Amino acid sequence: MKKLKERKIFFIVFLLSCSLQLVMMLPRVLIGIEISTITGFFLYFILTFFSFKIINHSLAAICVLELLGILVLQLPIRIISFDATSVTFVEFLYQLLAIPFGLAVYLNRKKSTPLIFLILIGLMTLAFSVYVNKIWKHKLDYGSFKYDVYYSPSSPIEGLDKYGNKVLLSSFKGKVLVLDFWNTNCAPCFKKFPILQQLSEKYQSNPDIVILAVNYPLKTDTSNQAYNMINDRGYTFKTIVLNNVKMIEYINVKYFPTTVVLNKKGIVVFSGDIEDSEKSIERELR
């Protein structure tokens, strides 16, 4: 009878672990991946700790069942398509981490000093999760874990300005070049344009810097659509349209919007959000 009750509890632990995977979809959508990572860690910690309190033996079995509850839903979709699920990878790791952390807290619950030490580690781990998510997202969007990079475009990049003149980006060697890559169907791109306008106005009298909005042409774009969209919104920064969509691969742009800063030698020294580009711009101008 006791073993039957124990098996029921084991099954409930496994079921709760699976159910939390479904519950976590809500905070992920409503409040963002950073908070859902913290929430997931906290929920799995609670499940682990109180499962041990109910059954104060077979700790290894409980850990394995919770782990299976996570993996049974997560592992198949991550194997099938890691790229599609990669944005939640840090959240997934933190859920796994919560299980051994819950075990450590339970084992040290009667020892005040180790318990305080563990709680401090847990709080630091949760606080650090925001930073980990940020650098992971930067890696997914921009191809590196940090904004400061150092590489040369693999081939020349050129486009057309609103007058139909060819603009070869290699002709700007000797100047700091700021490129803001966007497309006409990118809502976040338009939200960043006021910042690009401010940068353009700030440096417009400086002969050592060139700032360009570089449009990635879509198949659905009409003639002059990119230029018209900029003009209609009252922006005055210079705009060019790439001659070939493959050219973004030459400079390693995978996400819109992406701001790229090239130094006076034509080396890419920054790739990321436009809000974070000014530090690199000022450094290169010095």
Query: For 221-257, what is each residue's pLDDT tens digit?
Result: 998 999 999 999 999 999 999 998 899 999 999 889 9
Q: What percent of the chain lies above the pLDDT cut of 90?
A: 61
Residue of 14, 9, 10 lying closest to 44 (CA atoms): 14
- CA dist., res. 132 & res. 151, Å (int): 24
Measure CA 59 to chain center: 35
CA distance 187 to 177: 24
Asked whether the predicted pLDDT for residue 4 surpasses 70, the reply is no
Q: What confidence tens digit (pLDDT) does each residue in 80-107 have? A: 888 888 989 999 999 999 999 999 999 9
Is residue 269 pLDDT above 70, yes or no?
yes
For residue 197, the model assigns a pLDDT of 97
Whole-angstrom distance, CA of residue 232 vs CA of residue 279? 30
Write down the mean pLDDT value for the chain.
Answer: 91
**pLDDT at residue 3 is higher than 80:** no
Express each pLDDT in 59-81 by its tens digit.
889 999 999 999 998 989 888 88
**Sign for the pseudo-dihedral over CA of 255, 31, 63, 68:** negative
pLDDT in tens, 146-157: 878 889 998 889
**Average pLDDT estimate for 120-144:** 88
Closest CA to 83 of 140, 28, 146: 140
**How far apart, in Å, are the Cα atoms of 216 and each of 173, 181, 213, 273?**
22, 7, 10, 17
Q: What is the maximal distance between C-alpha atoms in the chain?
A: 85
pLDDT at residue 2 above 70? no
CATH superfamily of 148-285: Glutaredoxin (3.40.30.10)
Single-letter residue type at 12: I
